């Protein structure tokens, strides 16, 4: 046995040894836990104090403060890098500093692209300018501010001056293009019109280029929901569904790993950047437009009738086009300029070198009242609660970090920059990341987490108050009897922590139909429809506050390796039952099954040792247990990334929206990369030391 393995095995014994050697008073305290609702990671006495702090903190969030923060941040359009974006950073910094945090603005230089000319006209069979703005709606004064909002666009699209026949291509999938070919439609030189959904703007743009297209215009059908099936309720401003005039802005960088693709290293001011010409975006203009614009264009398309399945809500007998001609111009300003994260810390009293991070982005496509300001409001309400606790003598066990990220909408620019700058410290000291992004949309409670944090989310739900005054656990159960905690998936700043660095993450939101998403109408006026009285905002703040207190205050934070082991086993079982490459699947499963069985025994032993050690209150022994927790995480991190995915440093956490673990397991089936993927997974498991005390 190597010295490293021996040392690791000795560390594994610490928890149970500490329990055996604990003083009689410590053993009595452990026994008292039977009579007290002991929280995992705390002694009975600590649990009583923690419960009192959590109850006090839950009384802090209030609708008046939430609305004041909303208006201060979302009262103006604040896209990444704009002067108003800096103003929101200064406001958040000031609020956090007033709550006793060491708060500062951290500046990075990143690539940015702002449209300076967007022009669309029909040139045949008649000539007419097309208004690209989202129309003002009754009862929403913010929607009248067209110059501030700007026309819809797709971030980082290539520029162009395109003229040609307009062709409607349904969703723009490969099958849709094949249908056009069967109909005999000439595709070369055309400008294409596609519905949102069934693929990213980037992938659709590349397909348009492959067929000789000159430009792509993408629109969302009324009621379109990017997170689920189309909605049928009343459209905004009468209801929650997407109206005809709402565009859905998007970024063309979705195919990139997180962060600024032009950055060379951490994009601190003065750092080198690659040329914009190196960006791998389709070499044509691609733009988000409204359904109102799209249906005006569809009215005179001409050409063959489209298949019945291609019908739109406004144009049931739509044609594929070829007769109507259009002229579309997109010109942009491309520059390297500043973005601004806000980083605030509250130093821990017992373990100041350890951290837990709560964060959410602040930049918005337009006003961003829900996405993301509802999440920023929750963070600020959390900070207010901690300020009140501090006045009563409370101090966190470990350091709390709040991150208000910039540039998320374009590609997680701000969070990736900060995580990269602090990479080593985060991997060796950050227990978990809690994400806050568009947390107050509607009445449905929705939680996501890496598997090792899922149980903690359930425990918090049992003590936090829902919008209707009942415990969240009851509220949640009425909506979902299983109280499902889903995989974190993709689409927000947790990616930087979890998939890039291997740090557990979680988040919880009150969700619902969000028809103003990425449109001009995501403004404070919409809150009377989406979150009247700020009830969901306050409920989200209460949940995040208690979740963060558990992570920040516990001598041993409640991360459960045994739950992670169970998730890994489910993942391997599902892989084994796949219907392709059965022979290779059998070989992979046979190689990993014994490794996983050994890891499961290890995980169960670690959880038991952590529970036993925490129950004694022996802080010296807990230091060793916590060090072991970080050591375990290092086994499943590879600085060189995964085969075919160098940005993904975690061998463990999967960025898929439904599959939570082992991101490279399917890669083991690849004829070229399969051997390397399997060797990497086996190597991660092999680093787990033997368990000597069971």
* Average of per-residue pLDDT across 12-21: 42
pLDDT at residue 316, as a whole number: 84
pLDDT tens by residue, 327-357: 999 999 999 999 999 999 999 999 999 999 9
- Give the 3-state secondary structure of 508-550: EEEECCCCCCCCCCCCHHHHHHHCHHHHHHHHHHHHHHHHHHH
Where does 516-635 have alpha helices with state H? 527-530, 535-553, 561-576, 582-616, 619-635
Q: How far does CA 438 lie from the centroid of its chain? A: 10
Mean pLDDT of 121-136: 97
Element (H, E) at 107: strand 102-124
pLDDT digits 0-9 by tens, 245-266: 999 999 999 878 899 999 999 9
- Rounded Cα–Cα distance for residues 15 and 17 (Å): 6
DSSP assignment letter at 478? H
- State mean pLDDT over 90-116: 98
- Whether the per-residue pLDDT at 36 is higher than 80: the answer is no
Query: Which comes out higher in pLDDT, residue 241 or 316?
Result: 241
Q: Alpha-carbon distance 621 to 556, whole Å?
A: 11
State pLDDT tens for residues 552-611: 999 999 999 999 999 999 999 999 999 999 999 999 999 999 999 999 999 999 999 999
Q: What are the chain's domains?
A: 3-43+557-686 (no CATH), 61-110+338-553 (3.40.630.10), 111-336 (3.50.30.30)
Contact 640, 371 (CB under 8 A): no
Separation CA 631–CA 634 (nearest Å):
5
Q: How many residues does the chain have?
A: 694
Rounded CA separation 20/36 (Å):
22
pLDDT the model gives residue 314: 82
Residue found under tokens 């162009």 = 160
pLDDT digits (tens, 9 = 90+) for 454-500: 999 999 999 999 999 999 999 999 999 999 999 999 999 999 999 99
Which residues fall within 8 angstroms of residue 496, CB to CB, at 6 or more apart? 258, 259, 412, 415, 416, 418, 419
| Per-residue pLDDT, 694 | 40
456 close to 547: Cβ distance less than 8 angstroms:
yes
């Amino acid at each position: 046995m190597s010295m490293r393995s021996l040392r690791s095995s000795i560390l594994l014994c610490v928890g149970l040894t500490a329990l055996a050697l604990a003083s009689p008073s410590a053993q009595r305290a452990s026994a008292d836990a039977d009579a007290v609702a002991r929280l995992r990671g705390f002694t009975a006495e600590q649990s009583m104090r923690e419960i009192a702090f959590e109850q006090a903190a839950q009384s802090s969030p209030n609708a008046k403060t939430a609305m004041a923060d909303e208006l201060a941040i979302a009262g103006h359009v604040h896209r990444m890098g704009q002067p108003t974006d800096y103003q929101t950073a200064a406001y958040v910094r000031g609020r956090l500093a007033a709550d006793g945090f060491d708060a500062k603005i951290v500046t990075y230089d990143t690539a940015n692209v702002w449209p300076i000319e967007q022009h669309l006209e029909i040139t045949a069979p008649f000539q007419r300018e097309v208004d690209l703005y989202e129309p003002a709606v009754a009862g929403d004064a913010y929607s009248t501010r067209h110059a501030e909002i700007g026309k819809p666009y797709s971030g980082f699209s290539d520029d162009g001056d395109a003229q040609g026949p307009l062709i409607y291509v349904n969703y723009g999938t490969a099958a849709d293009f094949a249908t056009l070919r069967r109909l005999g439609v000439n595709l070369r030189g055309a400008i294409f019109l596609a519905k949102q959904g069934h693929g990213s703007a980037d992938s659709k743009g590349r397909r348009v280029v492959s067929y000789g297209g000159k430009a792509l215009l993408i629109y969302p059908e009324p009621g379109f929901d990017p997170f689920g099936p189309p909605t049928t309720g009343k459209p905004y401003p009468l209801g929650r569904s997407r109206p005809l005039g709402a565009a859905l802005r998007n970024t063309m960088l979705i195919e990139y790993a997180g962060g600024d693709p032009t950055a060379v290293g951490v994009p601190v001011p003065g750092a080198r950047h690659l040329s914009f010409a190196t960006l791998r975006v389709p070499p044509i203009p691609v733009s988000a437009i409204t359904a109102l614009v799209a249906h005006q264009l569809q009215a005179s398309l001409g050409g063959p009738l489209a298949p019945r399945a291609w019908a739109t809500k406004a144009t049931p007998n739509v044609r594929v086009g070829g007769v109507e001609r259009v002229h579309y111009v997109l010109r942009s300003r491309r520059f390297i300029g500043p973005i601004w994260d806000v980083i605030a810390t509250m130093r821990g009293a017992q373990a100041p070198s350890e951290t837990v991070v709560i964060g959410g982005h602040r930049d918005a496509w337009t006003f961003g009242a829900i996405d993301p300001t509802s999440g920023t409001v929750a963070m600020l309400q959390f900070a207010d609660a901690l300020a009140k606790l501090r006045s009563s003598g409370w101090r966190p066990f470990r350091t709390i970090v709040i991150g208000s990220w910039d540039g998320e909408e374009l590609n997680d620019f701000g969070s990736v920059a900060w995580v990269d700058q602090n990479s080593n410290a985060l991997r060796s000291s950050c227990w978990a990341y809690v994400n806050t992004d568009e947390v107050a949309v509607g009445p449905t409670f929705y939680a996501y987490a890496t598997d090792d944090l899922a149980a903690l989310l359930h425990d918090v739900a049992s003590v936090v108050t829902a919008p209707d005054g009942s415990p969240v656990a009851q509220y949640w159960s009425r909506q979902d009897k299983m109280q499902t905690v889903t995989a974190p998936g993709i689409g927000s700043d947790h990616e930087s922590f979890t998939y890039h660095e291997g740090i557990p993450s979680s988040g919880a939101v009150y969700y619902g139909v969000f028809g103003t998403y990425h449109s001009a109408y995501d403004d404070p006026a919409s809150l009377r429809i989406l979150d009247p009285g700020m009830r969901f905002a306050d409920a989200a703040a209460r949940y995040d506050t208690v979740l963060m207190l558990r992570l920040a205050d516990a001598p041993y934070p409640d991360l459960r390796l045994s739950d992670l082991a169970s998730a890994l086993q489910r993942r391997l079982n599902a892989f084994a039952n796949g219907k392709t490459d059965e022979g290779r699947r059998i070989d992979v499963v046979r190689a990993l099954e014994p490794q996983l069985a050994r890891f499961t025994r290890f995980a169960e032993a670690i959880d038991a040792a952590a529970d036993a050690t925490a129950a004694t209150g022996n802080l010296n022994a807990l230091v060793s247990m916590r060090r072991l927790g970080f050591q375990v995480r290092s086994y499943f991190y590879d600085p060189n990334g995964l085969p075919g995915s160098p940005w993904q440093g975690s061998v463990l956490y999967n960025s898929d929206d439904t599959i939570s673990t082992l991101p490279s397991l399917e890669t083991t089936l690849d004829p070229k990369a399969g051997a390397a993927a399997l060797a990497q997974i086996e190597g991660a498991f092999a680093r787990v030391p033997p368990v000597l005390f069971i």
